[in-house]
Amino acid sequence: MSATTRAHLYLLLYAVLISSSFPLANYLGQSYPPLLTTLLRYLLAALGFIVLLAVRGQLRPISCSDFGRYLLISAPMVGYFLLMFVAGSSSSAVAMSALSTSIALFSLLFAWLGWRQPMAPRRLLMLLLGVAGALWIISGGNPLALGQQSWPIGNSVFVLACALMGLNPLVIRHWHRGEPMLQLTAWSIIAGTLLLAIGTLLWQPPLSWPDHNQWLAIGYLATISTMVTFFLFQSASLVVGGSSANAYGLLAPALVFIINGVIGIGWPQWQQAIGLIPILLTLIWLLRDDQNAG
């Protein structure tokens, strides 16, 4: 098996694991305080990365300026995950997975507006096509219904979350100082844990201990959806490039449809599933565009 084939298989698994977080966000958003959910997820992931750094002999003190840099890097992703659980209280896993296709569009727009990076019209058209498919899915195949009380507040909250996640690669690129990605990720998660702990002290959500199922969901998100996907994404992106690796996130709506069907929530109606066509076309278009550019 070639390195490129292995990288694409890694990214398929990455997309599956990332997609599995949407049903869990929906479940936790309705059953446990979002701030505490995000804090516990970050705390478990931070402990895991500390152990990993220690095992690799890379756990060492950092300067205050570096820690401040990691606080800035962590902020967009902390906001994304926090708002994801807030959105889960009223938005569905399918809607959130569909809206997540807008992350790449937000990133392109922010790069153009804030970093003055040229915007390729071809790429903008591709990403708008994917967002059109997402809106079709959310409306159940009836876009006119979007303005007829079929847009819960959770959808708007998650759009804001996607905007924050769109900032994430730009912030990393701006504040990265050449350190290994493992170190950057680990310290960003540690810094994010501090931000969430401060937020918990300030807002003081009702404190409650997660039950067994909630712990399983949070533990899965911390280890599988955070640590394992980090390994898969970084390993694959070194081979196929970050742009192609990020494009696999467009598989989320299709994978959430499959996950919902397998766990018994139900399969989509064909009218709704048609929205997958422009999203998958966008994925293929982006991968071919990146391959030709390379």
pTM over 0.75: yes
End-to-end CA distance of the chain: 21
Query: Where along the chain do its domains lie?
Result: 3-293
Q: Which residue has the tokens 């680990």?
A: 186
Q: What is the pLDDT of residue 148?
A: 61
CA distance 261 to 16: 14
Q: What is the mean pLDDT of each run of 10 residues along the chain (294 residues)?
A: 91 95 96 96 97 95 96 96 96 96 93 87 94 94 75 95 93 90 94 97 91 97 93 87 87 97 94 96 92 76
Q: What is the pLDDT of residues 256-293, one digit of tens each?
A: 999 999 999 999 999 999 999 999 999 999 999 888 87
Q: What is the pLDDT of residue 147?
A: 67
Cα within 13 Å of Cα(225), Cβ side: 21
Q: What is the pLDDT of residue 11?
A: 94
- Cα 41 to the center of its chain, rounded Å: 14
CA distance 46 to 222: 9
